[in-house]
Structure 1
């Protein structure tokens, strides 16, 4: 389904978007694990749309505290030796077999997008608010990919925190990984997992005497 034309600055936009289909998607959304994911993934145009939708999030004072790194095609294998080296740095006693398995992390899906939390540390918008924006980007991308018919999982795993890996990906010291988004096609439908009881988390504030 083609996306609507990109709105221009100053255009009037709907204040709400009543949609039973959207509510159903959100109510039934379930991540597909990468171990049950295969190709195809989104093509270049679809991926660009997913990232554009991802960037359409609440962002206090328009800080834009995030950026994207795409891994597809040969890049998925080319980053493998970096994963291997980083894993062995953290686990010097690990076997060669284990290290080689870690080198194939990005071969589990056709396309991976790293959402980088890139805060403006001197900006007056609190870092906590900036990090929430980066998280919202990841969630928007999950929903967009699902609506396009793709399986998707948001992961971090150990390599999101390994400085050797992050440096090889081009992250600065003040940057972090908000998430790696894995995109593909599900080999089988995921099963529902235990969910929190949202009602048990709700309180209604009342003024006390």
Structure 2
């Protein structure tokens, strides 16, 4: 028989996950996680399925003055694009969160573990970051946007050949809770396979 402590833990974890929402990027403000909380968050993030134990992802942490310079450089690049007004607006969304974690898919081509599974593992790192931030009392928003696909923007992150941005996760304190929104209903998206 299971002890009561794990049941209470499971109930608490379920409650946290059930209430999780992504705050608007501008609602993520300082203070963000300190060094110890960030290390804990990364520890949580890396507890993902990883077929073949390949660690097919890398994380780029951006905070403080480095984040400010990164956003400024992105704004310069955004201004050079044909869709400059739109890209500048999406770039400004990166400014208020005190911590940005860029999850980079670093899949190994030609490995017996299909690249698709390696990409999914990188996506799981993003989701664990979001859930971990929520569990630690912060908020998080998982974005991509033009800067995740533009070669000049990804060069600012020092990506190697073949690496791709899986997600840009903004983390901070939540200044304003996001309103609840309609969610998919289990009955609409699930079915039991019949024998």
Deviation for aligned residue 1:100: 6.5
Secondary structure, counterpart of 2:177 in structure 1: coil
The alignment covers a number of residue pairs equal to: 188
After superposition, residues 106-121 of structure 1 pair within 5 angstroms as 106-121=94-109
After superposition, residues 32-43 of structure 1 pair within 5 angstroms as 32-43=23-34
Distance 1:100 1:139 in 2: 26
Q: Which runs of 5+ in 2 are unaligned?
A: 1-5
Deviation for aligned residue 1:103: 6.2
Task: Find runs of 4+ consecutive structure 1 residues off by over 3 angstroms.
Answer: 98-106
Distance 1:190 1:130 in 2: 31
Asked if 1:22 corresponds to 2:22, the answer is no
**1:167 matched residue in structure 2:** 155
Distance 1:189 1:103 in 2: 21
After superposition, residues 20-169 of structure 1 pair within 5 angstroms as 20-91=11-82, 94=84, 104-169=92-157
Structure 1 contact 41–185 (Cα < 8 Å) conserved = yes
Larger Rg: 1
Deviation for aligned residue 1:99: 7.5
Secondary structure, counterpart of 1:188 in structure 2: coil
How much is the aligned-residue C-alpha RMSD, in angstroms? 2.0
Residue 193 of structure 1 is aligned with which of 165, 181, 190?
Answer: 181
Distance 2:22 2:42 in 1: 18
Distance 2:96 2:139 in 1: 12
